[in-house]
Amino acid sequence: MSRHGNAAPGLPMPCRLAALGIVTPLGCGVAENRAGLIAGDRRGIIPRDDLVADARRYFGVVTASLPPLPPDLARYDCRNNRIALLALREIHDALAAAKQAYGPRRIAVVMGSSTSGFEEAERAFVSRAASGALPPQFDLAQLEFGGLSDFVAAAAAVTGPAYAISTACSSGAKALVSARALLQLDLCDAVIVGGVDTLCRFTANGFASLSAMSAGLTNPMSNNRDGLNLGEGGALFLMTREVGGVQLLGAGESSDAHHMSAPHPQGAGARAAMAAALADARLAPEAIAYLNLHGTGTPLNDASESMAVAALFGLALPCSSTKPLTGHTLGASGAIEAGFLWLLLTGDRRAVPLPPHRFDGVRDDDLAALRLVGEGERLELAGGQALMSNSFGFGGSNCSLVLGGGAMQPAGEER
């Protein structure tokens, strides 16, 4: 146990998600994202014909105005880092208090991403093919996975450990697990942690080549599902050892390594991750009041995930996928969807509005009949109940998170 910790002997270390900055196709900040999440707003999912060769597909697009980077950080300038900067500004007050309390060298940064600044790299390499030279504004720091964490550390003016996690679609969730480990090891006293990903042609065409993209709007758990919509966005938390507020109660990781891009057909890895998260949180399955599904809308994911959820929780647990509202934000999705749980937990626990499951309503009789959240559903969180989020990545890289606690708080932070 850390000499800085607040836990009683024998109890888990408190792991507070003290503040959240979030930027998604639903909007910028806590208020806009909470409103869009509860309404099941899909207006951020728009058609584009510039990302997939010779095809028009739907994507979740961030439309918020993105800030320019400070001149001294211009080498990091890319859309990914501009989204990160906007999210970082949302936790400014909590971060300033942490720097005052602990000092910059005791604050770490752990960031998840799968694309980093690849969009800018694509343009740069096209320019080099045409002219023989890379554009003067291009820098490899925009492209490197570690560029995101280095940029966030520099923009936040903190000097603790800083590194990146890139495990496909579980990156953002695994970043939170890694951040918790830094606190447990007493390598820092607070962590800026989360994930950011942006759209690019390389990723879009890769998913298209796997026949994993929907021809229209994604339709998770439907008999008519035909793939996912990609999206972009980011979520940054300030994680501390403080008691109270929203807590990361448990995390479970697994690697089923069944296939390069397909999940285990019986959901073995998914079930293992969820069970491990429950064990880590010291909770029984009955203590989970809501589950945010990975829910990509691909035939294989929905089949395996529904099987795993039904095997562990039965069919009464309220579930929904929020990817129809944001698109699949890949390396950022685990952090964003943990952020959505944070938004639910920082409301009134006596009447928590749940994100509706957006699909065409045509059930697939071959899938487990999960209880998918309908319009306007609310629940009362009893003492000891918690929420779970799933993130399952290529190669069988799986991560489930359990969040609990919380109460009515000011927008943006819990202090």
pTM to 2 decimal places:
0.94
Q: What is the mean pLDDT of residues 324-338?
A: 97
What are 99-119's pLDDT values in tens digits?
A: 999 999 999 999 999 988 889
User: What's the CA gap between 340 and 39, in Å, rounded?
Assistant: 13
Burial class of residue 295, CB neighbours in 10 A (0-12, 13-18, 19+): buried
Model confidence at 408: pLDDT above 50 = no
Per the CB < 8 A criterion, the answer to whether 305 and 392 are in contact is: yes
Q: What is the pLDDT of residue 407?
A: 62
What is the structure's pLDDT at 257?
75
> pLDDT grade, residue 11 (50/70/90)?
low
Q: Report the run of H or E that residue 389 belongs to, with start and end.
A: strand 386-393
Query: Is the pLDDT at 125 greater than 50, yes or no?
Result: yes
Query: Tens digit of pLDDT for each residue in 391-405?
Result: 998 667 899 999 999
**pLDDT tens by residue, 182-238:** 999 999 999 999 999 999 999 999 999 999 999 999 999 999 999 999 999 999 999
| The pairing of beta strand 318-320 with beta strand 246-255 | unpaired
Average pLDDT, the chain: 93
Token representation of residue 37: 């999440």
For the cut 50, the answer to whether the pLDDT of residue 415 exceeds it is no
pLDDT digits (tens, 9 = 90+) for 40-94: 999 999 999 999 998 999 999 999 999 999 999 999 999 999 999 999 999 999 9
Q: Which helix (H) or strand (E) holds 145?
A: helix 145-156
Inter-residue contact 345 to 406 (CB < 8 Å) = yes
The predicted pLDDT at position 406 comes to 78
Residues in Cβ contact with 43 at an 8 Å cutoff, skipping those fewer than 6 apart: none
Mean pLDDT over 329-352 rounds to 96
pLDDT at 10: 58
Q: Phi and psi dihedrals of 338, rounded to 5? A: -65, -35
Phi and psi dihedrals of 80, rounded to 5?
-60, -45
pLDDT score at 268: 87
3-state secondary structure 194-219: EEEECCCHHHHHHHHHCCCECCCCCC
Q: For residues 133-141, give the mean pLDDT.
A: 91
C-alpha dist (Å) from residue 395 to 17, 167, 309, 341, 398: 29, 9, 20, 26, 9
Q: Is the pLDDT score of 1 beyond 70?
A: no
The reported pLDDT for the residue numbered 265 is 66
Question: Taking 50 as the threshold, does the pLDDT of residue 141 lie above it?
Answer: yes
CATH fold of 16-405 reads Peroxisomal Thiolase; Chain A, domain 1 (3.40.47)
H helix intervals, 282-332:
299-313, 323-326
The rounded distance, in Å, linking the Cα atoms of 212 and 207 is 5
| Helix H or strand E encompassing 403 | strand 397-405
> Is pLDDT above 90 for 6?
no
Q: How many Å apart are CA 100 and CA 156, to the nearest integer? A: 13
pLDDT given at position 2: 40
- Which DSSP letter does residue 229 get? -
Given a contact cutoff of 8 angstroms between Cβ atoms, the answer to whether 77 and 135 are in contact is no
d(CA 263, CA 260): 8
According to the model, what pLDDT value does residue 318 have?
98
pLDDT value at residue 260 = 56
Distance, CA of 103 to CA of 98 (rounded, Å): 7
Cα 221 to chain centroid, rounded: 20
How far apart, in whole angstroms, are the C-alpha atoms of residue 6 and residue 280?
Answer: 18
Q: What is the DSSP letter of 51?
A: S
Beta strand extents in 207-300 (DSSP E only): 230-231, 233-240, 246-255, 288-292
Average pLDDT over residues 367-371: 97
Task: Quote the CA–CA distance of 280 and 403 in Å, as a whole number.
Answer: 12
| CB burial readout 222-258, b (16+ within 10 A) else e | beebbbbbbbbbbbbbbbbbbeebbbbbbbbbbebeb
Half-sphere exposure of 387 (CA within 13 A, CB side): 31
**pLDDT interval class at 246 (50, 70, 90):** very high
- The pLDDT tens digits for 248-292 are 999 999 988 766 556 666 778 899 999 999 999 999 999 999 999
Paired residues of 353 in beta bridges: 378
The residues spanned by each domain of the chain are 16-405
Neighbours of 101 (CB within 10 A): 12
What is the number of other CB atoms lying within 10 angstroms of the CB of residue 144? 17
